[in-house]
Chains A and B, each alone.
Chain A
Amino acid sequence: MAALRLLLLLAAASLLVVASRGDASGAGPRGRKLLVLVDDLAVRSSHSAFFGSLQARGLDLEFRLADDPKLSLHRYGQYLYDGLVLFAPSTPRFGGSVDQNAVLEFIDAGHDMILAADSSASDLIRGIATECGIEFDEDPEAMVIDHINYASTEVEGDHTLIAGDDLIQSDVILGSKKIEAPVLFRGIGHAVNPSNSLVLKVLSASPSAYSANPKTKLASPPSLTGSGISLVSIMQARNNARVLISGSLDLFSNRHEKAGNEQFVTETSKWVFHERGHLKAVNVAHHKVGETNEPSMYRINDDLEYSVEIYEWSGTSWKPYVADDVQIQFYMMSPYVLKNMSTDKKGLYSTSFKVPDVYGVFQFKVEYQRLGYTGVSLAKQIPVRPYRHNEYERFITSAYPYYAASFSTMGAFFIFSFAYLYHK
């Protein structure tokens, strides 16, 4: 029995070792298994270029119909998938145990999602988008129309296939290669919830666009107009889960090969599935200058060194992240020290500073939030104590006259008493 237990322990230990080694050898920040939910399995072929690019990057796709009754995101408390592609704009409700809350919980558990809506978007899809800070045009018939920037291939018609080139300025989200051709978009527009600071517009409509029902005459001014309309938006949650929401499923299809669509969706999907712009901070260390051990407490006016290693996931491996704006705060209700850290270009950021002349419970804080990157927020609590009684100077030079005065008084008093008492 004991031997068996020992064996089991050994096995567990070796598994742990393997697991930790696997982690160190450069596995990515996210797993590779995606669930693709579609209204109609035809989407699989009509959007095969997009899916193909995902698969080519090593993502493992599982296609399911949105109303599949066996649908489930998790089993035995474990999530089965690492990401979700919701290409089912018109589905009124998901099959199985999946509903709006299940999808939101999936995101809150740190998973990513691409959601594509359409002019036929159901309340379910709109609800999920709203929870992610995106409000689709409430008119179910409305589409984005632009009479100036429309696709030149479709001169005739209602100008609902519009050409967007107002892209977010971020190499992290869109890749370093500039998207030359405009992105063609046919679908519904949305507005970004202004109180939600986590949502960003990736593709905005041009100032001449508006959102209305193309089949009827415009009776009242449209609620969404101009560049206030977002066509594609992203949201990076506080737990770094990434969500991309597009008002058009058509955007991802094979149809617009010549336009910038393919490059756009490929690059943004790389971002969504954490193949780019993911930072990790490891090996936080701090110690007094000249020492290596991490103390449990500092003293006021100590000189200390702080270092952290920050790496960026390049899609295949962890590369050192290089920037000159990573700051450290020594924080107690407000930052007492705020300093840029210097980097050795190999991922190590370090700095040294003097602990302020204030005692209390401080925190080493690194709050690094940059567009497109996952947020790095490190906080480590460390108390700072005042001097101990024996850490003050024993004798102060400027006080020597006082020492002399008191000792000479004592001596003089002794002599005086002696003389007074024994002098006849």
Chain B
Amino acid sequence: MAAAAASAMLDSLPAPLLRSLRLKTKQQELLLRVSALALIYVLAFAVRLFSVLRYESMIHEFDPYFNYRTTLYLTEHGYAEFWNWFDSESWYPLGRVVGGTLFPGLMVTAALLHRLLRALSLAVHIREVCVLTAPFFAANTTLVAYAFGREIWDSGAGLVAAALIAVCPGYISRSVAGSYDNEGVAIFALLLTFYLFVRAVNTGSLAWALAAAFGYFYMVSAWGGYVFIINLLPLYVLVLLVTGRYSQRLYVAYNCTYVLGMLLGMQIRFVGFQHVQSGEHMAAMGVFFLLQVFFFLDWVKYMLDDVKLFKSFLRITLTCVISVGTLALGIGTASGYISPWTGRFYSLLDPTYAKDHIPIIASVSEHQPTAWSSFMFDFHILLFLFPAGLYFCFKRLSDATIFIVMYGLTSMYFAGVMVRLILVAAPAVCLISAIAVSATIKNLTTLIRTKSKSPQTTGKVTGSKAAAKGAVDQPLPFQHNAAIALLLGAFYLLSRYAIHCTWVTSEAYSSPSIVLSARGHNGGRVIFDDYREAYYWLRQNTPTDAKIMSWWDYGYQITAMGNRTVIVDNNTWNNTHIATVGRAMSSYEDEAYEIMQSLDVNYVLVVFGGVTGYSSDDINKFLWMVRIGGGVFPVIKEPDYLVNGEYRVDKGASPKMLNCLMYKLCYYRFGELTTEYGKPPGYDRVRGVEIGNKDIKLEYLEEAYTTSNWIVRIYKVKPPKNRS
């Protein structure tokens, strides 16, 4: 398409001008490449704007609301205040030291962009900047992907990689306009770091290694996923050492990147001294020391020139080094200086770990193991181009291809463990698939070209063409046609990919999840804006120091949109506090009242989908509240809420279930409501049953507000009784 556009442009120029503009092949190629890249850049940005067109320019989902709130604070109060911000509106009464418990990269980036635009006299609101940050960085990622592809294969592969990643659904899912989350910039930073590091390894240049360290610093400032980098790089170095690919280039690249990256990473308050104290970062340090030993041994070998002596020296040195290393690690771990691996890290290595030990991680839908269908959904044809790309990589093994293979394989494993890590795998999959696509198409076109040119130019084939022709010296029958067919097939597949990606983006990944939409009976779009309705109600109608209790999912939104204090929010740093809320929700009303009094709760907010059929409501999340509550307070027992291991809300539900606070708050007065024609009143459209307790009386709470579609229900906690 780009080529056609370019040639059309050339044709339309007047003849003399055309002659003076006559480009050499190299220049033509450059022009084509640049214009293709520019189009990909625009495409990557534009395809992410579906959400703005469908809904409005708004922040999506849960975490982005926190990021937005902090960015707003940053632009209003400046960096020093942001750094020292103690937020008394969340985690009441514990508070949260926001400045020290977040990755500031995203907020600083958005604030800088905002300031830049302001400096250019473009009066944009910070919200617009936040909404468009992720698409902007996704577009930048395509450039990095191009450079990376060129580094590991050739510029053709780079272009294909850029095109693939521009629309890859696995990446789009986290970078549509409005998805103002760390991942939006972090994937750019991740790929950039990898590219710069590979470049440093390929060139052995200190400057590129320094650039990689800065890329790493940006990644550390932006996302906790930097742990992937700090573990993948040493693993890569280790593999190169084992395969005998050790070189001075590697030594320079790794040492410089590691040392400077570590020092820079420590500047991020949330990360602090983890680089030297946490078990997750120890691999990088171990490999760093190992490289020094390797270098030293190399030098000794060069100096000694005696194989026998060197062997005994090697034995002694290795024994010493290994025992010293083990001892240091053992002492560090035993004395508590080196913290053990965190639960999140364990749950990555062992997919069943979270389920057994940390319900709060297992309860998040994006932490679930990935289903096959979502691989297909997010990668489409890349899924089978990926192995093909691996084949090409192994066929032309180099330091760079080893890196991309390792990145691809490890990230694919992590993508299988957790749904949301598909995001990390997406760039690797795109790059490797791009190698497959590019190499295949190149081979096919070479076939076609040589065949068609062969009658005229058999005699004067030179240089590289001869090498390419070497394999096809004896043309197979129908080779030309087969090549054309295959090329058409590849074209068809790629166009299917483009169609699939666009469809997925527009249908699945552009929903803000704060505004819900459904298809009405006549096919029209029905919008449920209940969340914002409820949050604005809170903002307008409750005292400014009111404390709202809800399940932690809604904490960020309540503080950002409702501007009220919450007990727990999506920053799940204090499991006990969350468990307390879970316990309150799963207790009887009088027990819950005591808990709520101790936390000074004024309002309780629940999300209920029984009227609209909105399935991710609190009743469906309720078992997790029970599990998390029961994990800390053993009085809450999961079997009490189940009947024969079955979770139900109808007449057959367990008595505890029918009378716990969450059930009462969700279904209060629901028994009077007819939700569907032909069904009895109190028919829950999510669970598809008639509820079991229609006569709910509230003693300690009273209904304060219910949104128009009953999705959000707010209750006021009554003060203690006056006369008893």
A residues adjacent to B (C-beta < 8 A): 104, 107-108, 131-133, 193, 195-196, 198, 235, 237-239, 241, 297, 332-333, 359-363, 381, 383-386, 388-389
Contacts and interface: CB of A to CB of B under 8 A. Distances in A.
Closest 8 CB pairs of A and B: A385-B86, A383-B88, A361-B93, A388-B84, A360-B95, A237-B722, A196-B724, A108-B722
Interface string B46-90: 000000000000000000000000000000000010011010100
A132 B723 contact: yes
Given A360-B93, A361-B88, A107 B598 contact: no
Interface residues of B, number: 20
Nearest to A131: B723
Nearest to B83: A389
B304 interface: no
A241 B722 contact: yes
Contact of B545 (A198, A235, A362, A381): A381
Contacts of B724: 133, 193, 195-196, 198
A359 B723 contact: no
B94 interface: yes
Contact of B92 (A361, A385, A386, A389): A361
B3 interface: no
Contacts of A131: 723
Contacts of B83: 389
Given A333-B93, A361-B95, A381-B545, A386 B86 contact: yes
Contacts of B97: 359, 385-386
15 contacts: A193-B724, A237-B722, A237-B723, A238-B721, A238-B723, A241-B722, A297-B88, A333-B93, A360-B94, A360-B95, A362-B93, A384-B95, A385-B84, A389-B80, A389-B84
B598 A333 contact: yes
B545 A238 contact: no
Interface string B532-570: 000000000000010000000000000000000100000
Contacts of B16: none
A424 to B, nearest CB: 23
Nearest to B84: A388
Contacts of A363: 93
B-side interface mostly: loop
Nearest to B80: A389
Contacts of B599: 333
A107 B80 CA distance: 53
Of B722, B723, B724, the most chain A CB neighbours within 10 A belong to B723
Contacts of B94: 332, 360-361
A364 to B, nearest CB: 13
A107 B88 CA distance: 37
B248 to A, nearest CB: 18
B720 interface: yes
A420 B84 CA distance: 45
Nearest to A110: B722
A238 B718 CA distance: 14
Contacts of A381: 545
A384 B97 CA distance: 11
A198 B93 contact: no
B93 A133 contact: no
B723 A107 contact: yes
Contacts of A386: 86, 97
Contacts of A385: 84, 86, 95, 97
Nearest to B565: A361
Contacts of A104: 723
B478 to A, nearest CB: 66
Contacts of B565: 361
B86 A239 contact: no
Of A107, A198, A297, A360, the most chain B CB neighbours within 10 A belong to A360
Nearest to A332: B93
Interface in B586-610: 598-599
Given A360-B93, A360-B95, A386-B97, A235 B88 contact: no
Given A235-B723, A389-B84, 5 more contacts: A196-B723, A237-B722, A238-B721, A385-B86, A389-B83
Contacts of B84: 385, 388-389
Contacts of A238: 719-723
A241 B721 CA distance: 13
A383 B86 contact: yes
B95 A383 contact: yes
A195 B721 CA distance: 13
A372 B35 CA distance: 88
A219 B84 CA distance: 79
Contact of A108 (B86, B598, B720, B723): B723
A86 to B, nearest CB: 16
Contacts of A133: 723-724
A388 B80 CA distance: 9
A238 to B, nearest CB: 5
A238 B721 CA distance: 8
Contacts of A241: 722
Interface string B90-105: 0011110100000000
Nearest to B724: A196
Contacts of A360: 93-95
A204 B335 CA distance: 66
Interface string B683-722: 0000000000000000000000000000000000001111
A380 B119 CA distance: 44
A319 to B, nearest CB: 28
Nearest to A193: B724
B273 to A, nearest CB: 15
A384 B88 CA distance: 9
A195 B723 CA distance: 11
B145 to A, nearest CB: 38
A362 B719 CA distance: 20
Interface in B399-430: none
B722 A239 contact: yes
A252 B94 CA distance: 55
Contacts of A297: 86, 88
Contacts of A389: 80, 83-84
B348 to A, nearest CB: 31
B598 to A, nearest CB: 7
Contacts of B545: 381
A247 to B, nearest CB: 19
A108 B92 CA distance: 30
Given A385-B86, A389-B83, A359 B95 contact: yes
Interface string B253-279: 000000000000000000000000000
A383 B723 CA distance: 33
Nearest to A359: B95
A363 B95 CA distance: 13
A362 B599 CA distance: 12
B91 to A, nearest CB: 8
Contacts of B720: 238
A237 B97 CA distance: 41
Contacts of B95: 359-361, 383-385
Contacts of A132: 723
A104 B722 CA distance: 10
Nearest to A243: B723
Contacts of B80: 389
Nearest to B90: A361
A84 to B, nearest CB: 15
A57 to B, nearest CB: 26
B108 to A, nearest CB: 16
Contacts of B723: 104, 107-108, 131-133, 196, 198, 235, 237-238
B717 to A, nearest CB: 15
B700 to A, nearest CB: 15
Nearest to A382: B88
A297 B88 CA distance: 10
Contacts of B93: 332-333, 360-363
A80 to B, nearest CB: 21
A110 to B, nearest CB: 9
B167 to A, nearest CB: 43
Nearest to B97: A386
